Amino acid sequence: MRRGDLIFVFTPTVQKVSLISFLVSSSRVESTKNKPVLFFAVCGLANLNNRIVGGQDAPAGFWPWQVSLQRPSHFCGGSLINSQWVLTAAHCFPSASGVNVVLGLQSLQGSNPNNVSRTITTLIVHPNYNSNTNDNDIALLQLSSPVTFNNYITPVCLASTNSTFYSGVNTWVTGWGNIGSGVSLPAPQTLQEVQVPIVGNRQCKCSYGAGSITDNMVCAGLLEGGKDSCQGDSGGPLVIKQNNRWIQAGVVSFGRGCALPNFPGVYTRVSQYQTWINTQITSNQPGFIAFTSTGTDSDLSVSCSTTTTTTTTTTTTTTTTPITTTTTTTASTTTKPTGKIFY
């Protein structure tokens, strides 16, 4: 268990699948180079995405906040939240050394004329991240220099503290992860998208056990299985549309296998972290928007016929020094893979 913000500083030279949708403004996102930015005014606009439901391959520019984290190949996703900060999952980062953040990317292979690459100068892992329970699985990355916004690189809005996500509300998740447990995304490894409904926390606890799903998590997927995020999608965004804005509701965190019946994907609930994020990013703060579900939440009437519990114990000690990082961990003998955590 990590106690205290982990801030790793580097010199500038150091170098699940199925996933989103939203009707958006047709106006072009204005370049922010050399201009002060009100990120609420530009966040969540995907100018090239004008459809309501999606397929599998995501066309270029449909999800302009999606980033690929590479060392040197892709290992996790993330989302751009202002011109110089990326939101991702804490479990992706035992270290930020040698990581490149690639934006404006459509496929992992072949030509990508709109891509931009940055290194990481600062990694901030949530002080209460628990690698054993996956609680508070969230981290922030500061880019080596700001990026300029365009149709292919735009920040996403974030769900504010008072957001509500009722069971059955449709969301989208995107990433370059596996298309099934142990099945890699085939060449040219084009960004994938899938629509998945919210599964209320009560229902999700019926599957994972009451102690495994906390208020800091949100679940999404089909209870019959078949659609989910998977290994390699970790850290990527779970988003939802409201009016003409995309709002990030979750960060891909963990699950049991991929797209298995009765085991929806589990995501870090972004709305729980507005204060923490704004405490870390003190200038050009991200745009937060409240997502409000309508009607009655069917999850309130859910009760489990049986209860499953999971008990694990982990002790983690982390040592941090400027320029380089050293992490020493004493833990259980089970090693979790890079990317979405499996059980």
Q: Classify residue 215 by burial, with Cβ atoms within 10 Å: 0-12, 13-18, 19+.
A: exposed
- Separation between Cα atoms, residue 167 and residue 285, nearest integer Å: 30
Least Cα distance to 266 among 331, 326, 221, 311 occurs for 221
Catalytic residue flag (residue 137) = yes
Q: What is the DSSP pairing of strand 157-159 with strand 288-289?
A: parallel
The dihedrals phi and psi of 208, each to the nearest 5 degrees, come to -95, -15
* List 18, 21, 83, 91, catalytic entry: 91
SS3 195: strand
* List 5, 135, 137, 228, catalytic entry: 137
Question: Which DSSP string do the residues of 120-137 spell out, in sequence order?
Answer: EEEEEE-TT--TTT-TT-
Q: Are 152 and 283 in contact (CB under 8 A)?
A: no
* List 83, 131, 207, 234, catalytic entry: 234
Annotate 42-96 with three-state secondary structure.
Answer: HCCCCCCCCCCCCCCECCCCCCCCEEEEECCCEEEEEEECCCCEEEECHHHCCCC
Which one-letter DSSP state was computed for residue 295? S
Active site residues: 91, 137, 234
